[in-house]
Structure 1
Amino acid sequence: MHPDLLPHLRCPVCGQPLRQADATPPRALRCPAGHSFDIARQGYVNLLTGRAPHGGDTAEMIAAREEFLAAGHYDPFSAALATAAARAVPRRVRSGDGVGGPVAYPDLVVDAGAGTGRHLAAVLDAVPTAVGLALDVSKPALRRAARAHPRAGAAVCDTWGRLPLADATVAVLVNVFAPRNGPEFRRVLRPDGDLLVVTPTAEHLVELVDRLGLLRVDPTKDARVAGSLAKHFEPAGQSTHRHRLQLTRKEVRTLVGMGPSAWHTDPARLTARIATLPEPVTVTAAVRLTHYRPT
């Protein structure tokens, strides 16, 4: 766990600060009350209490996502997110100690529902003064996210519940194709913080939806997202990003396997349908990036 992340973390049981246990190498985080949380050998810390309500994305889904993202297919989305984060962070400069005037200080970027951490890594590359924390309930995802960037750490938690973070500690909170917990996002964001939400538009993967029997983007999604955040945030800007992918049939299979349709698609039927697609397969990737600020 990166040492600059520790001041921001809180015990999920009692809410007290966490520190690394005295060991070489440290294998746990502990609070003053004695609650202890193991650090896996892959580098992530488990901050769940009790049984998780769900296991999150499976190892197979995460492997598919790692393969697809590593090919660069969604890099334009990562770049747009990184640009938005970089624009937000320079607004925050606090006074120094009176010796050298204003000084930069580490900002915390949190990716809630981070998956493999690829988007978070792009943000940290664009914001060299920041440290990042990947939150997800999927252990297979966090095994990769913990190694996604030298200034990133990773923690298992249920993002629908209370986040294991101090109040008003996050500078930028990123949420990409993941559940949104409005009250908790507001609690952990600083008053001058920024929430960046990426959601698919109705155009996203439209060429594959009917032909492969995939889940369709809810036409009311934008309204639902805005409604879930309205009590705690106000929109500060929005942009749409789309580009055309040229995929092999194998890459189409990987794309389907990394997303929610993987839970709802019969593998044999999917294989048969993919075999009928022309190659390369032209697919539209389209997302909406919405910038929110706390109310």
Structure 2
Amino acid sequence: MHARIPAGTADTAPMVEARSAFLASGAYAPLANAVAAAAGTPSGLVVDAGAGPGYYLSRVLDAAPSAVGLALDVSAIALRRAARAHARLGAAVWNLWEPWPVADGVADVVLDVFSPRNAAEFHRVLKPGGLLVVAAPLPGHLAELGDLVLAVDERKEQRLETTLGAYFTRESVTEVVHTSPFTTRQVHDVVAMGPAGFHLDRDGRRERLRWTPARNVTLAVAVGVWRRND
């Protein structure tokens, strides 16, 4: 079962390979820990909207031994990895802008990490009082990589409030800001796994990336906890 997937929106095999290798390196472990802490210890269903290979959902499930997870993503290639990422995790290829294959009011937690935000579906599938955990980049995220990555919208915070405010009340926000040395492989993978991965052949990006050396890179992400309005 799957919803219609617009052409050119699903992560490709090279993008998924880069993402899996980068996440396995531990460079985003501080973010994964923050997402798991924000989710708490749910005992029921956790839905990850835009789950990719299941890295963040797996971390939440590790911390919540009674919970089960559902990974939704437009990339079948990514979800093949997600389905193997945790024993209590299922996966469905799905367009997040379509109505989800999830019943009303059944999820304890919805995760959204660097993914599209369908506020109406978040609200519909969550139980009354359920939690939405949203991770979004802050200005300065991956700034040392310049135009090899896409710039963070300075109005992202305002857009979050506009998108989610009618359905949710924000309870807290944690800023995860961490600078660490990236190897040349990590620099390549963090660029190739994100939206810029669709555009490596534009503006000489692929060639410039090939010659970009190891360097310190900043992770800067806001992890917000939003409570479902009943």
TM-score, with normalisation over the residues of structure 1? 0.74
Select which of 171, 177, 189 maps to 2:114. 177
Q: CA deviation at 1:178?
A: 0.2
1:258 paired residue among 179, 193, 201 = 193
In the TM superposition, 1:190-209 aligns within 5 A as 190-209=127-146
Q: Contact 2:133–2:225 at 8 Å: present in 1 too? A: yes
Q: CA–CA distance in 1 between the matches of 2:25 and 2:203?
A: 25
Once residues 67 and 88 of structure 2 are traced to their aligned partners in structure 1, the CA distance between those partners, rounded to angstroms, is: 8
| Cα distance in 2 between the residues matched to 1:239 and 1:223 | 17
1:243 aligns with 2:197: no
Identify the residue that residue 70 of structure 1 maps to in structure 2: 24
Q: Which residue of 2 aligns with 1:216?
A: 151
C-alpha contact 1:85 1:127 (8 A) present in aligned 2: no
2:94 is the alignment partner of 1:140 = no
Aligned partner letter, 2:15:
M
Offset of residue 263 of structure 1: 1.6
Distance 2:145 2:72 in 1: 30
Q: In structure 2, what residue type is equivalent to 1:63?
A: E
Matches of 1:161 and 1:184 in 2, distance apart? Answer: 9
Match of 1:111 among 14, 35, 48: 48
Indicate conservation of the 8 Å contact 2:15/2:197, yes or no.
yes
Which one is further off, 247-256 or 200-209?
247-256
- Structure 2 residue runs of 5 or longer lacking an equivalent are none
CA contact (8 A) 1:249 1:274 kept: no
Give the CA deviation at 1:262. 1.2
* 8 Å contact kept, 1:64–1:255: yes
1:157 aligns with 2:94: yes
Deviation of 1:275 after TM superposition, in Å, equals: 5.3
1:79 aligns with 2:33: yes
1:48-63 map, 5 Å = 48-49=2-3, 51-54=4-7, 55-63=9-17
Is the counterpart of residue 274 in structure 1 residue 209 in structure 2? yes
CA contact (8 A) 2:200 2:206 kept: no
Pick the aligned partner of 2:105 from 157, 160, 168.
168
Contact 1:134–1:153 (Cα < 8 Å) also in 2 = yes
Q: CA deviation at 1:277?
A: 4.0
Distance apart, 1:199 and its partner CA: 0.4
Q: Which runs of 5+ in 1 are unaligned?
A: 1-46, 90-105
Give identity over the alignment, percent. 46
Per-residue deviation at 1:179? Answer: 0.2
Q: Which one of 229, 232, 244 corresponds to residue 167 of structure 2?
A: 232
In 2: Cα distance, 1:57 partner to 1:202 partner: 24
State the match for 1:36 in structure 2: none
